[in-house]
Amino acid sequence: MIQLIDVCRVFHMGDQAIHALNQIQLTITEGEYVSIMGPSGSGKSTLLNVIGLLDRPNSGRYLLDNIDVTDLSESDQARVRQNKIGFVFQSFHLIPRLTAAENIELPLILSGIDPNERKKRVEAALLAFNLIERAQHRPAELSGGQRQRVAIARATILRPTALLADEPTGNLDHRIGSEVITLLENLHHAGTTLIIVTHDRELGLRAHRRIAMRDGSIIADER
């Protein structure tokens, strides 16, 4: 369970303070499917980054599975992130010199899983995400949809309880974007908590719970 209490995130630009998150109260329980919508600059990415332990609030608390993770050290946060959270980005964030299979394998290497188990898991992921024929290709040789499938496979290879996606279809045409959302929804059906930031209203409306943001605040939260 994800629980944000009075979370604020302020950025300072010169002598200007930007309140990217303003006293956010938010609870997301395991297995939910949530979309976050709102205009550019409303704080969606900042919210997702805080939830994903990629950024810290300036004030307020973050409880993850009832453990206060707000003030964990970088390395403790990294450990929690590795076990509980997968992250997918608009621009894929794949490593260019690694093949699709190697990109997917990387989290397994970083978490010390042995080579036999790694091979099995990567093969299962390549199969699940329809990437067998692209396994030995580098990101530059893949289409946008294939790149995002590699990114999703990498984000879920350690079986996180929550998958966070920041505009995962932002660089894809509508049809491919819709296919990517279907893949994410399949992971949700298998039990993963799914949180998607999107500009695409039609995709956002597919979520069971829809959060709207504006100026760093949650202005609507409907089921």
* Binding-site member from 2, 33, 34, 45 for Mg ion (CB under 5 A): 45
DSSP designation for 140: G
Residues that bind ligand ADP (CB under 6 A): 11, 13, 18, 20, 38, 40-46
Residue 204: which of ligand ADP, Mg ion, none does it interact with, CB under 5 to 8 A by kind? none
Q: Across the beta sheet with 217-222, what order do the strands follow?
A: 85-89, 162-166, 193-197, 33-37, 209-214, 217-222
Give the shortest CB-120-to-Mg ion separation in angstroms.
36
Picked from ligand ADP, Mg ion, none, the partner binding residue 42 (CB below 5 to 8 A depending on kind) is: ligand ADP
How many whole angstroms separate alpha carbon 203 and alpha carbon 87? 18
Nearer to Mg ion, 102 or 167 (CB): 167
Please name the residue ranges forming H helices in the chain: 44-51, 74-84, 100-110, 115-128, 144-156, 174-189, 201-204
Place of tokens 């966070």: 164
Q: Which of ligand ADP, Mg ion, none does residue 38 bind to, with CB < 5 to 8 Å depending on kind?
A: ligand ADP
- Based on the shown chain and the rule CB under 5 A, indicate whether residue 49 belongs to the binding site for Mg ion: no
Q: For ligand ADP, give the closer residue by CB, 52 or 139.
A: 52
Query: Which positions touch Mg ion (CB under 5 A)?
Result: 45
